[in-house]
Amino acid sequence: MPNGTWILGDLFTKDYGHRGNIQKLWEQRWKFPCTKGVYPFHDGKYEDFEPIFKHLIANNINDPYDDAYTNAILPTAQRLAKEAKATESTDKEVAKSLYLRANAVFRLARFPYIGTELKKKVFEQQKATYMQGAQLWDIPITEVIIPHKHASNGDAQNIPIYLRKPRGTGPFPVILLITGLDGHRPDNTERTTEHLARGWATVICDIPGTTVDCPANRLDPLSPDRLFTSILEWIREEATELDEKRVIAWGLSAGGYYSIRLAHTHRDALIGSVGHGAGTHHYLSREWLEQVSKHEYPFGLEEAYRQKYGYASFEEVMDKCQDGFSLVSGKGEGVAVVGMGMTSCRLLLVNGVLDGCMPVEDSLLLAEYGSPKEMRFMRQRLHMGYPEANGVVYPWMEGVMGG
């Protein structure tokens, strides 16, 4: 912040102590969430993960970008996938559970960022396993390859998305689910199921710079505009199945940046947008980035940010990234959509007040520009504002969707 004062207060410079220490990460941060099957262990079982962490701790494997980390986790995922395949013909429900467990372990193996050749291979295995298991569901997920009709300046030509829609006759209201830095298309079963229960279809896309699947040029701050123009045009073309007049974007964590941008640049194509745990400006400042590795994120964000945004070093990220990508003061033409005073569709901003990944200031800042915003921040909660956050998001989306 310009005056050096953050809402985090003393927590801004507090070191949570688990960075570079897998034992502290497991015992202080992840063991309890693992027992509850929540981030990043959703759909997994404690019995799958506890032996993995014992092995990592015993062998002093602390770097998630070291192949030793991924190789310590991968056999469990592959075993569960094999067991799932073998069980399909005898017990469909058990097979479904095993596939989801395998998916959760694959996710941890390629966590926190798909930045090595091995992790890229693991992600391909995860997707294949997930889609195989999804075909056993009553309402499966399908992959659709959308032509990127507006590709330019280094964008690839195709956009892989996941689609899950209710049974029956459409067109169905649509949640455009925009994934984050470490969560990708196969990591959203619970959300798509919640959407089905409300009669909504889900279109899931990955964000620039995180997977090889997203065709948007990570170096170009304007590439998301082209990406979402192609996706929203495809939704419009699917008029018999998808209701182009009832589309809500929901951006998760790093994806929240894009849902906020989309709420402004494509406001006429949306009836609402949710920036959930979103960064907009301060999260890319040198002052924030110099401290972010101390906060709650499991492994630090330096290498992930460096690769996502395409810089040569983290020093370069701190020096240049805010100027290039801020939604408020970015210097690239048309990047600072909020700072330019553009109006938006209805926009809900949700986070934890004590978020150490994306500062809550990044949401509050938007109240100073353009259209009025709707906001809800969870006291004493960290990144994303869980566990209460979804209890705010879903009722809001229901109200916006209407009948």
Q: What is the pLDDT of residues 275-304, one digit of tens each?
A: 999 999 999 999 999 999 999 999 989 999
What is the set of active-site residues?
Answer: 253, 355, 383
All structural domains of the chain, each given as residue ranges with its CATH number in brackets, are: 17-137 (no CATH), 140-403 (3.40.50.1820)
Q: What is the pLDDT of residues 119-159, one digit of tens each?
A: 999 999 999 999 999 999 999 999 999 999 999 999 999 99
- DSSP H stretches of helix in 135-285: 189-197, 223-237, 254-265
Residues 131 and 144: their CA atoms lie apart, in Å, by 12
Q: What is the pLDDT of residues 316-370, one digit of tens each?
A: 999 999 999 999 997 766 688 888 888 999 999 999 999 999 999 999 999 999 9
Q: Please return the burial class of 192, using the count of CB atoms within 10 Å of its CB with bins 0-12, 13-18 and 19+.
A: buried
Taking CA atoms, 400 is separated from 220, 248, 370, in Å, by 32, 8, 20
- Backbone φ and ψ of 353, nearest 5°: -60, -30
